[in-house]
Structure 1
């Protein structure tokens, strides 16, 4: 009897526990499904801001790391290199000479201002006394920053002349196979000629042409600009020819159907299609012109960065090597900035061009 009662109690307990366990399993399944259905909030490391910041920081930090590694290697190896002017200067010594060059420019500017102030006072006294007034130009030696400005003006004139000649000739060569066949051999012959070979020819021609004692532009300035033009026009000429020759012939046929004049066809069809090629050639020409200019100024002793480098080399002081290395860095930075400017102009024109 007792055994039967105990058995009944155990059966009832098992019967009640089975539904409860089934219910708990179902509740856990529902909870897990609801958790899966609800989107989890992204952490900070998974946020869109960090995803966008990662490539940007990488693009910024990798070049910075490369520059710092180069400076560290330079600073470590410089003391081990002996030259006729002493050990090779490290980054710190080169930077110090850069600061010294700026200080020299500041001192020269102060002297120049004092010179013109004194001249104005002297002229005012001369006017009051009724004596003739005399005007003089400041005759101080050009500073490093003055040399930079001179080189920039020279390369700008040479680049402008090169573009002025290269683009029209390139368009004609691209549109006419006959003209291209006639000019291409001359281009291939003249293109590899060094600026050192052009310089004596240009010097003699310009000296015979400009005979005025007080010309509008100094002879040395014109000589350097012409040498830059002769050496830098070829990339623009070749790329313009390729761009004009690659124009879709259907566009030209449309121009014939619409009876467009040559100027309208040039400005509405040919130039917009050839602009990417033209600007690529101009970027290459500007880089070549900047390199050529330094060599021309150094050899011809024309004012500019090339002359500054050569003068420091001839000077042979303990600071000369550091100044030359600082000038080399400045030359490279200016060349880089000129290329970035041309790239920006190319992007700007490409966005606004229409065919």
Structure 2
């Protein structure tokens, strides 16, 4: 009996020692093979940066290839040198029709801000009304269906006829083009509010103002912000075309003026400027929509 017990104790002792060795090995192994925090952050950064950088490099490669095939099209190198000279003094003023690109960008942004602001003041409340009341929704449907597909530049002669000046006509074109996404998205959001919410409001005998502020607005906010983002993109897109026809100071007029001077490098620079400014406006509104939560 004693020999058997001794053997069992020996076996237990050996098993405990083996488990201790295994634990020490497994504990030491991650410390030796685990990558550092800096290496993980560097890898995540490169994984985040690689796709957009690859896309830009591909764009430059295609642009370079096309410029070699078409001698009249400037390549990236010559356009870069022209941009360096252009932005070395972006706010010069020689005469009212000869100003730096900085003044032209600011003038276009001012028109966009006015037209977009007016569209928001009118379109968002109108969207709430259309989505809230079925009769008004049915009444507005044919009007929106007819006017929304009209090309923005088709509204420019009407603006020139009514306002007798190019600047308010351009703002009018921005207004009439940017208002539709706000109206439609806001109205759709209001129509998607669950009927249970409205039943609770009816039971509590809430006023129309409290229904809008406490029930409709929090629910409709994502739809409304989507309409705002779409509208700012449309507004910035339309202003370039409108300024080409109305003249004055603005990025659209500047593009047309550079075309008349056969300065193709500046036209390409303007294309990138318009795209970058539009992207910044989109990113700014997206950031506002993500950070602002109404609770």
Give the TM bin, normalised by the shorter chain.
Answer: 0.7 to 0.9
1:183 aligns with 2:140: yes
Q: Secondary structure at the match of 2:87?
A: helix
1:166 aligns with 2:146: no
1:221 aligns with 2:152: no
Q: Is the 8 A contact 1:236 1:278 kept in 2?
A: yes
What are the superposed Cα offsets for residues 209-251 of structure 1, whole Å, 9 maximum, x if unpaired?
xxxxxxxxxx332211110110111111110001011112222
Residue 76 of structure 1: how far off its partner (Å): 3.6
Unaligned runs of 5+ in 1: 1-22, 112-137, 208-218
Out of 16, 20, 30, the residue aligned to residue 34 of structure 1 is: 20
Residue 91 of structure 1 corresponds to: 76
Residue 97 of structure 1: how far off its partner (Å): 1.4
What are the superposed Cα offsets for residues 59-87 of structure 1, whole Å, 9 maximum, x if unpaired?
112211221232233224312213xxx3x
For normalisation by structure 2, the TM-score amounts to 0.88
Out of 58, 61, 66, the residue aligned to residue 72 of structure 1 is: 61
Residue 70 of structure 2 corresponds to: 81
Aligned residues: 284
Residue 275 of structure 2 corresponds to: 332
Residue 323 of structure 1: how far off its partner (Å): 0.5
**Rounded Cα–Cα distance in structure 1 between residues aligned with 2:289 and 2:21:** 53
Q: Secondary structure at the match of 2:127?
A: helix
**Rounded Cα–Cα distance in structure 2 between residues aligned with 1:339 and 1:250:** 35
**Rounded Cα–Cα distance in structure 2 between residues aligned with 1:167 and 1:151:** 23
What are the superposed Cα offsets for residues 163-221 of structure 1, whole Å, 9 maximum, x if unpaired?
111111110111111111110111111111112211111111111xxxxxxxxxxx332
1:142 aligns with 2:142: no
Out of 197, 200, 206, the residue aligned to residue 163 of structure 2 is: 206
Cα 1:267–1:296 shift into 2, 3 Å? same
- Greater radius of gyration (CA): 1
Q: Secondary structure at the match of 2:257?
A: helix
Q: Secondary structure at the match of 1:192?
A: coil
Cα 1:47–1:100 shift into 2, 3 Å? closer
Residue 149 of structure 1: how far off its partner (Å): 0.3
